[in-house]
Structure 1
Amino acid sequence: MTGDIPEHYSGGGNLADRIARDLRARGLEPSDLTPAEFEPLDEFHFRGRAATLELAAQMRLTPQSNVLDIGSGLGGVARTIADTAGCHVTGIDLTAELCAAAAEISRWLGLADKTEFQQGDATSLPFSDDAFDAAITVHVAMNIPAKHRMYSEARRVLRPGALFAVYDILQGEGGEMIFPAPWAAEPSISHLATPQEMETLLREAGFKLLDSIDSTAESLRWLEERTAGTGPPPPVPITTRLLFGEGYKQMVQNQLRALRERRMLTWSFLCEA
């Protein structure tokens, strides 16, 4: 889990500084915002914060829970869970620049005591056995070829009976994915599994599968609304375009086509260790 993936997600330079400059240029002070207002930037997955809240609601979280976010990115999922459940969330991500920015954003939003972020590999987690009460991974495995190792590691660090929420982009029946996409400029770093492969991988890792939900239609409607500007206006006027630049326009169009043709799917799984 090295090489092209961190390069794809690195924005060049200090990402937190760039975000702060963009916000201040629009008259917004980062420390005056709430975790929910950061959603357009830091929850760059389909259906954003609403999808995170749906997953978290199924995870039996309490303020005492110690939660792991695998592939934490800019930390939006971790902060939403920490903010709403009152628990502690540890995020791990392969890209050091994203970890540094996530920690700084948490500091702005007053969640530095409930979240922490460290650079690391999802297929070789730097944690002891049975270290966490719950775990989540959101739009991460698309970049990971060794998914069996990722899910085996997730099972290892979870206590028996802990819940693991998985929400990812999968390979659909409508043909191959179209590139560029937000997770891969070209096919070499894209590794989509089918829903059937995912169920097998999770069971073979030692999880009991409790639920499996296809949300592709909802994701398509969400992206169509965002693209057409018919949904509610974003509270923060900067989005993940900051990470991907002008190429983001083509990425969005490719995703729209792929969802409509079911080349790509969005799917969630709820598992028990």
Structure 2
Amino acid sequence: MPNQVNEAIENHYTRPDVGSLILAALARAGKNLDQLTPEDLTPIDAFHIRGRAATLELAQVVELDAEKQVLDVGSGIGGTSRCLAQKFGCRVTGVDLTDEYCRAAAMLSAKVGLQALTDYRQGDAVNLPFEDDTFDVVWTEHVAMNIPDKARLYHEMYRVLKPGGMVAIYDVMAGPSEPVLFPVPWARTPETSFLVEPVELRQLLEDTGFVISDWTDSTEAARTWFASLVEKIQKNGLPPLGFHVLMGSAFQAMAQNQGRNLQEGRIVLGQIVARK
């Protein structure tokens, strides 16, 4: 069963040769492909609600610095890893189920000169290909929604963290007024969506052995951000560079449902930091 779920999730995210699609979109947006900066990639890089702002807020809570070894679980095309490496000088390893994303991530990191601080491995979040006690910070944004075995996920994060290390989570959770309307950016149907309520997530983390040090509900900020995004798309259409390059033609319906899910309390957002 888990393999079938993984296959369905990979199919959901994989677009053939996504790296070339991204480069073509950058060229259409007027970017010089020989002189790309991390900022040029921002409209497509931060594939999560509230984008780079949310990433930097979480990084401040974790007190990231250049001494930290970071693992980004569910690293996608590498946007978060590049943001953290650029802003804080830390070394970031990304792991993602989708091989196509790992290749695109490495290519884009090289294009913006961050290949020395970032590297990417194809792998499964519930069976991480790393030794025990390896990382100072395990980071994850908008990933757990696709993982049914949450206990195993957080156990693996705990295992690869050094003693005293931190897990940094920014995730979508089940809201008080389910069910979720599909399709959404993480799933086209309920079969690949596995949301837990905040109280369940807290219990899972504590059962794993984590001590929670920060828990922020960021649902309201997400609602405002999403309303503004949808309004922009309705007014100006899709920009040359945006998440639709990754998700294809279904993205507009996904974005509308995501907005409704937030407004109607079907999903909530949380920023959580916990220590091993």
Once residues 272 and 157 of structure 1 are traced to their aligned partners in structure 2, the CA distance between those partners, rounded to angstroms, is 13
Question: What is aligned with 2:121?
Answer: 118
Question: What is aligned with 1:216?
Answer: 219
Corresponding residue SS for 1:177: coil
Whether 1:165 aligns to 2:168 is: yes
Contact 2:25 2:240 in 1 (8 A): no
Corresponding residue SS for 2:226: helix
Once residues 179 and 143 of structure 1 are traced to their aligned partners in structure 2, the CA distance between those partners, rounded to angstroms, is 14
Question: What is aligned with 2:242?
Answer: 239
Deviation of the 1:169 alpha carbon: 0.5
State which of 268, 271, 274 in structure 2 corresponds to 1:268. 271
Whether 1:80 aligns to 2:83 is: yes
Contact 1:36 1:49 in 2 (8 A): no
- In structure 2, relative to structure 1, the CA distance for the partners of 1:37 and 1:24 (3 Å cut) is closer
Whether 1:199 aligns to 2:215 is: no
Once residues 240 and 33 of structure 2 are traced to their aligned partners in structure 1, the CA distance between those partners, rounded to angstroms, is 12
- 1:129-208 matches, cutoff 5 A: 129-208=132-211
Q: For structure 2, list consecutive stretches of 5 or more residues without a partner in the other structure.
A: none
Question: What is aligned with 2:14?
Answer: 10
Q: Deviations over 1:148-168 (max 9, x none)?
A: 101000000001111111010
Identical columns (%): 42
Deviation of the 1:36 alpha carbon: 2.8
Once residues 26 and 51 of structure 1 are traced to their aligned partners in structure 2, the CA distance between those partners, rounded to angstroms, is 24
Once residues 8 and 42 of structure 1 are traced to their aligned partners in structure 2, the CA distance between those partners, rounded to angstroms, is 18
Query: Which amino acid in structure 2 is aligned with residue 171 of structure 1?
Result: A
Contact 2:29 2:241 in 1 (8 A): no
Deviation of the 1:31 alpha carbon: 4.0
TM-score w.r.t. the length of structure 2 is 0.94
Deviates more, 1:59-68 or 1:125-134: 59-68
Once residues 60 and 247 of structure 1 are traced to their aligned partners in structure 2, the CA distance between those partners, rounded to angstroms, is 37
Corresponding residue SS for 1:257: helix
Question: What is aligned with 1:91?
Answer: 94
- 1:3-82 matches, cutoff 5 A: 3-12=7-16, 14-82=17-85
Contact 1:31 1:109 in 2 (8 A): no
Once residues 31 and 163 of structure 1 are traced to their aligned partners in structure 2, the CA distance between those partners, rounded to angstroms, is 37
Contact 2:145 2:186 in 1 (8 A): yes
**Count of matched residue pairs:** 268
Deviation of the 1:109 alpha carbon: 0.6
What is the root-mean-square deviation of aligned Cα atoms in Å? 1.5
Deviation of the 1:25 alpha carbon: 3.1
Q: For structure 1, list consecutive stretches of 5 or more residues without a partner in the other structure.
A: none
Once residues 83 and 59 of structure 2 are traced to their aligned partners in structure 1, the CA distance between those partners, rounded to angstroms, is 9
Query: Which amino acid in structure 2 is aligned with residue 79 of structure 1?
Result: R
